Amino acid sequence: MNPHRRSPLVIVSTVLVYFFLYVPVVVLVLFAFNSSKTNVNFEGFITQVGPTEIISGNVLQSPCGAFHWFCELAKNAEVRNATRNTLTIALISTFTSTIIGTLAAIALQRYNFKLKTFSEVSIYIPIVIPEIVMGIGILVLFSQLFTLLNGALNLSGDSQFTLGLGTVIVSHIAFSIPFVALVVRARLHGFDKSIEEASMDLGANELVTFWRVTLPSIMPGVLSGALLAFTLSLDDFVITFFTTGPGASTLPIYVYGLLRRIVTPQVNALSAVWILIILVAVFFTQRLQNRQT
């Protein structure tokens, strides 16, 4: 009997589930090239290149040709601002949470200390409670704290503490740390301690051993933790929604705002670009990881 043989039923359902997963993605990308401005029906591609010409909601001609909506997207100042915010938040929170989470993983895997049980429990909480509970909690904390501080320091106008990029960044760091810690810890779990002992026997001190032996060998774990933190931050809607303030909206928040009003194929163009960028990022991370291992 061939162990790779699977029943036709399994194969058919597999194909159906892949179909279910991909139809929305294909539709999203296809409609990015829609000539219809209202984007309800697919009215065909924009075939003519030339000065923009729109007749009854249909784009007949555009300087960018079929890529009309991508050009409109690039011109959109709100999108540029939201992109800048999204990337700033993701980069800072990934960098910080990767370092903190890795340290936590080492502490939990290698050391015994007083608050260990408390730490383990608190690290699991963000995974087993809905995001909105944490988001609401942080919103309550900041609004009470800021009211208190603004009152006590007698601040007014622009110098007041308000929700914004700063509050979003610290919240993202907080919810990313547990995920980084869990991923790195899983890597540490399978780590052969004898190479560290060998390094110490050969005269390296603990710091050198960590830097030259331990860190390089857990690096794939650290990298996947960082990638996870980065994608979580990029994708996050709920926590950002409750911790953001005026002028600090991210792409998901911006898109959500659009969906409640009028949607042009710009949103589809944005999705297409988004998928492309993430695919490229993942491709490079994979290559980097393969080289490491």
Q: How far is CA 129 from CA 3, 123, 240, 287, in A?
A: 39, 11, 16, 34
Instruction: Kindly identify the residues of this chain, within the stretch 43-102, that bind another protein according to CB under 8 A.
Output: 100-101
163 is a site residue for another protein (CB under 8 A)? no
> Which tokens go with 141?
């904390």
Instruction: Kindly identify the residues of this chain, within the stretch 231-290, that bind another protein according to CB under 8 A.
Output: 231, 234-235, 237-238, 241-242, 251-252, 255-256, 259-260, 263, 267, 270-271, 274-275, 278-279, 282
Instruction: Kindly identify the residues of this chain, within the stretch 190-209, that bind another protein according to CB under 8 A.
Output: 206
Position among 7, 56, 156, 293 found at the interface with another protein (CB under 8 A):
7
Q: Residue 61 or residue 146: which is nearer to another protein going by CB? A: 146
> Which tokens go with 220?
């794939």
Helix, strand, or coil (residue 58): strand
Instruction: Kindly identify the residues of this chain, within the stretch 13-52, that bind another protein according to CB under 8 A.
Output: 13-14, 17-18, 20-25, 27-28, 31, 39-42
Dist CA 81 CA 264 (whole Å)? 19
Q: How near is the Cβ of 92 to another protein at its closest, in Å? A: 14
| DSSP assignment letter at 48 | E
Position among 119, 217, 264, 285 found at the interface with another protein (CB under 8 A):
119
For residue 112, report the phi and psi dihedrals to the nearest 5 degrees: -115, 130
Which of the ranges 52-60, 72-80, 169-177, 191-199 carries the binding residues for another protein, by CB under 8 A? 169-177
| DSSP assignment letter at 175 | H
Name beta bridge partners: 62. 49
Identify the H or E element spanning 224: helix 215-235
Q: Residue 43 or residue 52: which is nearer to another protein going by CB? A: 43
Which of the ranges 64-72, 114-122, 151-159, 196-204 carries the binding residues for another protein, by CB under 8 A? 114-122
Q: Residue 51 or residue 293: which is nearer to another protein going by CB? A: 293
Name beta bridge partners: 282. none
| DSSP assignment letter at 36 | B
**What's the start-to-end Cα distance of the chain, in Å?**
34
Q: Residue 53 or residue 206: which is nearer to another protein going by CB? A: 206
Dist CA 113 CA 120 (whole Å)? 12
How do beta strands 48-49 and 58-62 pair? Answer: parallel
Which of the ranges 62-70, 111-119, 154-162, 190-198 carries the binding residues for another protein, by CB under 8 A? 111-119
Q: How near is the Cβ of 153 to another protein at its closest, in Å? A: 19
